[in-house]
Amino acid sequence: MTSVSETELRAEIVRTCLRMVELGINQGTSGNVSARSGERFLITPSGIPYEEMTPEQIAVMDVDGTYRGPCKPTTEWRIHAAIMRERPAAGVVIHTHSLYATTVACLRRAIPALHYYVAVGGGPTIPCAEYATYGTPELAASALAALHGRDACLLANHGLLVVGATLGETLRRTFDVEILARQYVYALSAGEPSILPDDEIERVRLKMRTYGTQEADDPGLVRLDAPPA
């Protein structure tokens, strides 16, 4: 995470939650968001609708389950704590019950490489974690296993889990996976989609490292007004 004050990060978490509702990838009190803050992490409270949530209600947690704040953290705090503990590069965790990702999760299927953009999840599939009761250590362990080598996974009969460096990046990835899930559901309604090979997804994943930046990654491009070296 970029170094920002805890106050700013609290407000950004609330804005992210509201944006999730606007994008149609979460509703009511389902889903949750956390963001690393120094040695601890901030996490959304349990049972408070996003439209009513305030920055002051965001809890501060340690990975051992201790917290500070007026509201107890989401029931899925164990998932967030496990990821923050085991993946030091993870700055943000977003969990949603988005319609299409949850639909695929209820089929207990991975999202395959029917579209090259599956690479946003870090590999050739968006895997599906084994089912466990919500809020339990078993679910946290299942999610962590499914996220091995990945930045997104489905939770069987439950929803979607996404990891990233920043709130903005992770929210975009969450929305992208929901679109992939929608495409998969639509494709299944028409037949069986053609699946891209793993090596192609790896090529795409590497290309995506510079996508959206101004780094030169296309040898066919020549900038005519480039300043002299």
* Catalytic annotation, residues: 76
User: How many CB atoms within 10 Å of residue 1?
Assistant: 18
154 close to 110: Cβ distance less than 8 angstroms? yes
CB-CB contact of 79 with 95 (8 Å): yes
Separation between Cα atoms, residue 163 and residue 186, nearest integer Å: 25
Query: Whole-angstrom Cα distance, residue 7 to residue 12?
Result: 9
Torsion of CA 64, 67, 46, 98, to 10 degrees: -50
Report how far apart, in Å, the C-alpha atoms of 155 and of each of 39, 61, 109, 110 are: 27, 23, 10, 10
Q: Which two tokens stand for residue 179?
A: 């679109």
